[in-house]
Amino acid sequence: MARGRPRTDTGRSAVSLFVKYVLFFVNFLFILVGLSLAIVGAYVLYLKEKKVRTPIDFFFDPSCLMCLAGCIAFLLAFFGCAGSLRENTTFLKIYFYLVGLFLFLELALIIFVFVFYYVPDARTTLKLYPEDVLREAIVKYRDDDDMKNLIDVMQQTLLCCGLSNDDKGYLDWNLNVYFNCTDSNKSPESCAVPFSCCNIKSGDKINILCGGGALKEQDASAQLTSRIYTQGCLKGVQTFLDGSALIIGGVCIGILLPQALFVCLARMLKDQILEQRSKWARS
């Protein structure tokens, strides 16, 4: 019998159905979530006729953040979903490159936070002073209800007042036209800080004027700290990091590992599709 060309086994697909449909269903879910977030965020922005003029206007507005998160999730998930379902290697390449890029940016953010809080010399050398930018949010505190609510939640959660990285953050409220402590300010809230700065203990009666006159005290005395939080919120973040290091580390791993896994799965599926195409070409 004449020896001919060896037969190529084309009966079994090189493409793993498990990898393909895990990528498809997970990304389809993220398409729905991303689309929902983007629509709700855009609708809220439309209702309140939001005008974004500065980065602070954007990043301190929950509805803007919802739109951004929704659009990013939808974009990434679309390429992952369509690429896996249609076995489109171009879409899969775009997907794992984009997810890999976001993974890199998240790692860079973690390194930035570590350097900012735990390497003071490097912070000074690199001139990392985010408080100079964040103080704009203090100035615009009353301009937008969503921005106001976000700052209030931040102050109550981190047990802080103002946005500085020191123990006198409450003095930042001198930058706000309603709270600044000057003789020319005739506002009823002159020399006060927002209610969200108040140090309310369990069982205390709620007094929305508890921050009254706080800005008249330039030093964080024991009497003042019993009434309001005095540290700035950037300092409050460090306090939170120091007290919840294990929890934060677990959350970071829980966020980063799935992304790394889907980068690997997308790359694996792309290679499997190319392998299957080469088998077809040889048959």
Q: Report pLDDT digits (tens) over 104-154.
A: 999 999 988 888 888 877 777 767 677 777 888 899 998 888 889 999 999
Instruction: Give yes or no for residue 165 having a pLDDT over 70.
Output: yes
CB atoms under 10 Å from CB of 264, counted, come to 12
Q: What is the pLDDT of residue 259?
A: 95
SS3 state at 228: strand
**Cβ atoms of residues 270 and 192 within 8 Å:** no
pLDDT tens figures, 248-273: 889 999 999 999 999 999 999 999 99
Helix/strand/coil for 198? strand
Q: Residue 11 — very low, low, confident or very high, per pLDDT cuts 50/70/90?
A: low
How does residue 1 score in pLDDT terms, banded at 50, 70 and 90?
A: very low
Evaluate whether the domain defined by 126-240 bears CATH number 3.40.630.30: no
Of the two residues 245 and 205, the one the predictor is more confident about is 245
Q: What is the residue extent of each domain of the chain? A: 17-110+253-276, 126-240
Nearest to 72 by CA among 51, 95, 104: 95
Long-range contacts of 67-70 (CB under 8 A, 24+ apart): 67/37, 67/38, 67/41, 67/42, 68/41, 69/34, 69/37, 70/33, 70/34, 70/35, 70/36, 70/37, 70/38, 70/39, 70/40, 70/41
When pLDDT is averaged across residues 203-226 and rounded to a whole number, the result is 82
User: Measuring CA to CA, which residue among 98, 126, 101 is closest to residue 114?
Assistant: 126
